[in-house]
Every structure is written in C-alpha cells, then in structure tokens.
C-alpha cells in the first residue's frame, strides 16, 4: 500500500483510541507527516519496539503493540505447552494501556498472563519471569527516552532480553499478522475473572528485594554510619523499591526530590529523564546543597539505570560517570569480598566493549577473569546464563556497562538500579566509617590504576532522513576508515559487522569472535580509542572515546581534542 492508502485505512479502522483519530485528522493532506508515520513500520528486534507515541505503523500505539503481541503469542504457542508470560510497565504515557492491551491479546490466544498490579522497574520483570517460571516476559518502557517515546521489550524464559534468533522468529510472525483483522483480544477484566490474567503477588516483590539485599557485603555498617541520601526517581518506577531496599539495609535518612517523586510520564522537570545528563539532576543537586547529604542518587524512569553525584570539599556536587561508578564498585567488591573470604573460586566480571578498560587492571589485581561482550546488557545476562547452565553462577561477581547499568548478583538478567543503589549506598557508608569520601576513593582508584578518561557523545538523527544519515556514516567509515584521527595514526581498525580486525601497520587481519554487530572501533597510536555505533533504541549515533595520560587534566584535554576532530570526520 502507498502511504496515502495506509493513512486512509487507519482513518477507517483505528477507532479504539480517540487520540489516534484526532492525530490522523490533524495531518490530513500533509504528505510529509503522513510519510513519517506510514513510510515504514516499527522494527521489532532484540530490543523489542521503541518509537514515538502516536498514529501509524511507525509509531507506538495499541495497534502496533497488539500486532507485536500476536506475533509473540504465535511464537509462544509454537514452542511451549501451556505457555505463560509476565508483564510489567513503567510510568510513561500509555504504558499501563499498552500493558493491558498486550495482556488481553495473550489471554485471547490461550496464554496465561501474570501482570504487576502497579508500575514496576524493568529488572523486576526479569525477576518475575524466572520466579514464576514464565516462558517470556514483556515490559512496556522507553527507558530514559524523552516523554514522547514509549517501547515494548520482550524477554525469554531465562529473564534476558530476547535473543537474536528468537526475535527474528517473532518478527517473522508479526509480518504475517494483519494489524486490524489478524489479532486476537478479549476484555481485560474478563481475563482477570477467568483466571487467564493474574496479578503478580507481593510475594514476588518481597522475594526480589530479599534477593537484592542478599548481595550486600557490609550492610551491617550502614545503620550506624549516619549516612544521608537525597534521591530522585525522575518521576519513574524506582521510588518504592529503592526506598524499600535502602530502608532494609539501614539508610534511615532519605530525602526525596518532591517535584520528581510521583510517577509522571510527561517528565515535567526534565525533558531527558536520564541520570547520565546533568540537567536531569538539577533539582536533586539544588536540594542536596540545602540538605547536605553524603550522596545524591537518581534512577531513570524504568529503574534499570542509576547515577550519582557526591559533594566535594567545597560542598559542590560532582557527577560521577557510569564508568567511574562501575570501576569503584568493582574495586570495592573485589577488595572487601577478598578480605572477608567470600570471593568465589575463579571469579568473573563482565563488561561491554565500550566500557572502561580500567576494569581489566582491577580484575588483574584481584585475580578475576574479565569477559568482554557487545554493547547491550542482554549480552551480560547471557554470560550469567552460560554460567548457570554449568552450575557456576556464583562465579559472577559484577557486570556493568558505561551507560549507568550495573548488576551485582545472578537473581536477574538485566541491569538493575535497585541493587546499584544499595551497593553504592553501602560502599559510601563503609568508606565513611573509614574517613574516606567517594571523591577520595575515586582519586585513590586513579592513583592506583592510572588516569583513564572515558566519554560518550551522541549525535541525534531523527526521522527517516536521520536513519539514512546514520547508515551513510557507518558505510563510509567501514569502507574508507580514516588513517589518522586528530593527528594520531589509527593502528587498529575493527569492524564488528564483518567480524574482522585489521592491524594497520602489518595489514594482517584477525577474526572477532563476538556476534556480528554494527560497531566500528579505532585504536590510536597513543593508546586512545574511538568506538562508533548507531543506538539500537534511540534516533542517534553514539561515539565512545577513551584517552589515557599520566595526569588527569592531560587525558581530558586529549579527549576533547580527539572527540572534536572525530565529530568533524563524521559530519557533525
């Protein structure tokens, strides 16, 4: 069908949602806006669906959600006997609506549904899948995207985001489903009455919190440390579970940012509800200057990412990067578990390819094996699953990615802001009892292992033209990689799509053993590194920079120089 024909079909058939009908009426005869909504369909992959909320095949709405769920239902009924699926949702606009639509579709297909009765963090979906022995899971969230977005992530029976093979099969099913006539549904309340849809009990919630608490190391010192925390859930799902876990380990003084406490999918105080971004923490920092806590803590809307800011000697609050928090946590876990004699035999830590290389130095210091995986926490979760298959999941001590995602136990298969909040608060309290601030702990880390500076710069590419631009940039660099960046020779070029790594001096190539991925890596003669990849969940292309120097200010200056020149190379 042409864009115009699809538009007319939607005007005729899309009668369930008045918001969609109003939007369709508002773009009548506007070819550009119609094309934005109908020229392509939202792509289902290992990250599920993600897009702007609205009318059309290229938008998140009840019809695209129902179509995707029908594809998932067909997959479950093909592969499992009496399948069941767990569902969670966050505070975003229409998240509860989409969750109910998905539940009603699954139930109409004869699939048992377990759904949380209130909004819950993404990691609690991963936990529920495993705790309830489900065959799949769905969480309705767009993580830290702006308010106009929503998403639909699918998990396997292992609690990990769906694998590539499984996602391809679901996609194949979706493509066979007519969006309006090919989906099954039933009344949600009737599904509850019939028992096909069941609310997840508090036993699952409490079991999750107990599993998190069991991963603590020095929780005994928290209640007597006099620790104070300012916390912001950024109008998302973290408010209840994070405050509960902090209470359970003995953090008695928690002040919540009032403007960001209650769930609100409009995110009125921060257009980008992302703890990586300083502006999102502005109200928290303002309140912290008044309350003078030991730590400012922030979780993103679906509470799988966590960020912090800490006071320096002058009372100014300094934001720590995801790499810094992850490195501090790994050092703390290794050092203290070794001292207590609780370190497992042959311990393992896992990081993504774009995460700080200081992890290798920490791992070497404590005799920990480091595994490196592709970007995406599902690959960390996958490695934990491999260990579990061998009965060795206790070997896993910590995994993280630079984008503020951390996991300190094997009870879930996704990043988790709840355990990250607990561990950071525990670490802060423990160091406080030793007279060490987190600023000092970070300085000690760099003094011990070297000054690594890591930054990530994103280049927004929205709309159809943006997708084309990202593809063009990657193709050009793949086929014509630069010989130098900022005056430094490129000594190694790796293309994870072709699974080949090139030694630029010798011309020799070697195989990359990780799964294929649209990622390019450039290692420079001074040890610096640039990695480029299109985001799998946002309309942007991401560049990751690593620089190393004897002095921190020199590494920072070098990063600024290289990032500026590389941005010019890719046309920004």
The set of catalytic residues is 143
CA 380, CA 416: separation in Å to the nearest integer?
12
| 177, 70 Cβ separation under 8 angstroms | yes
**Cα first-last separation, the chain:** 36
Tokens of 225: 């440390």
Query: Are the C-beta atoms of 384 and 395 separated by less than 8 Å?
Result: no
Residue 565 contacts residue 486 (beta carbons within 8 Å): yes
Nearest to 103 by CA among 112, 95, 94: 112
Residue by residue, DSSP assigns 370-426 as: EEEE-SSHHHHHHHHHHHHHTT-GGGEEEEEETTTEEE-SSS-SS--HHHHHHHHHH
Asked if residues 415 and 238 have their Cβ atoms less than 8 Å apart, the reply is no
Closest CA to 344 of 402, 381, 391: 391
The token pair that represents 443 in the structure block: 């300085």
Three-class SS of residue 479? helix
DSSP-derived 3-state class of residue 299? strand
Q: What whole-number distance in Å separates Cα of residue 199 and Cα of residue 219?
A: 32
């Amino acid at each position: 069908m042409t864009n115009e024909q699809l538009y007319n079909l939607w005007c005729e058939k899309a009668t369930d949602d008045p918001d969609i009908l109003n939007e369709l009426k508002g773009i009548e005869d506007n070819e550009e806006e119609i094309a934005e909504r109908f020229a392509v369909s939202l792509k289902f992959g290992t990250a599920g669906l993600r897009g702007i909320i609205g009318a059309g095949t290229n938008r998140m709405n009840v019809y695209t959600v129902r179509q995707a769920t029908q594809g998932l239902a067909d997959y479950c009924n093909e592969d499992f006997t009496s399948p069941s699926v767990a569902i969670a949702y966050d505070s975003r606009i229409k998240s509860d609506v989409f969750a109910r639509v998905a539940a009603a579709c699954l139930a109409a297909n004869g699939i048992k549904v377990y759904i949380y009765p209130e909004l819950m963090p993404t990691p609690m979906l991963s936990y529920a899948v495993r705790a309830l022995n489900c065959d799949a899971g769905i969480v309705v969230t767009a993580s830290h995207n702006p308010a106009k977005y929503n998403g639909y992530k699918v998990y396997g029976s292992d609690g990990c985001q769906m694998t590539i093979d499984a996602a391809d099969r679901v996609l194949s099913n979706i493509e066979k489903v007519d969006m309006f006539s090919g989906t099954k549904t039933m009344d949600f309340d009737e599904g509850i009455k019939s028992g096909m849809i069941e609310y997840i009990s508090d036993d699952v919630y409490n079991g999750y919190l107990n599993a998190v608490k069991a991963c603590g190391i020095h929780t005994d010192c928290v209640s007597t440390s006099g620790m104070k925390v300012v916390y912001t859930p950024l109008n998302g799902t973290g408010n209840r579970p994070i405050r509960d876990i902090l209470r359970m380990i003995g953090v008695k003084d928690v002040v919540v940012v009032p403007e960001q406490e209650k769930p609100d999918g409009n995110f009125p105080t921060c257009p980008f509800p992302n703890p990586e971004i300083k502006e999102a923490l502005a109200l928290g920092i303002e309140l912290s200057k008044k309350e003078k806590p030991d730590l400012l803590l922030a979780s993103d809307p679906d509470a799988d990412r966590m960020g912090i800011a800490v006071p320096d000697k002058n009372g100014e609050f300094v934001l720590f990067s995801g790499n810094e928090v992850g490195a501090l946590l790994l050092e703390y876990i290794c050092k203290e578990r070794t001292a207590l004699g609780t370190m497992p035999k042959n311990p393992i830590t896992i990081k993504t390819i774009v995460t700080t290389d200081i992890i290798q130095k920490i791992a070497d210091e404590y005799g920990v094996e480091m595994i490196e995986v592709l970007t995406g926490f599902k690959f960390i979760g996958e490695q934990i699953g491999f260990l579990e298959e061998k009965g060795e999941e206790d070997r896993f001590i910590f995994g993280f990615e630079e984008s503020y995602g951390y996991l300190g136990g094997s009870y879930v298969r996704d990043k988790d802001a709840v355990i990250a909040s607990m561990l950071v608060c525990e670490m802060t309290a423990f160091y406080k009892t030793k007279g060490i601030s987190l600023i000092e702990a970070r300085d000690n880390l760099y003094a011990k292992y070297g000054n690594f500076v890591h930054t990530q710069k994103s280049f927004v590419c929205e709309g159809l033209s943006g997708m084309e631009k990202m593809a063009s940039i990657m193709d050009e660099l793949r086929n014509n990689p630069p010989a130098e960046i900022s005056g430094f020779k490129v000594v190694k070029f790796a293309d994870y799509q072709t699974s080949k790594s090139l030694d630029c001096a010798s011309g020799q190539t070697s195989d990359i053993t990780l799964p294929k991925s649209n990622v390019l890596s450039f290692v420079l003669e001074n040890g610096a590194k640039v990695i480029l990849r299109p985001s799998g969940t946002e309309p942007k292309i991401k560049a990751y920079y690593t620089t190393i120097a004897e002095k921190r200010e020199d590494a920072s200056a070098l990063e600024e120089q290289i990032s500026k020149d590389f941005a010019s190379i890719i046309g920004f």
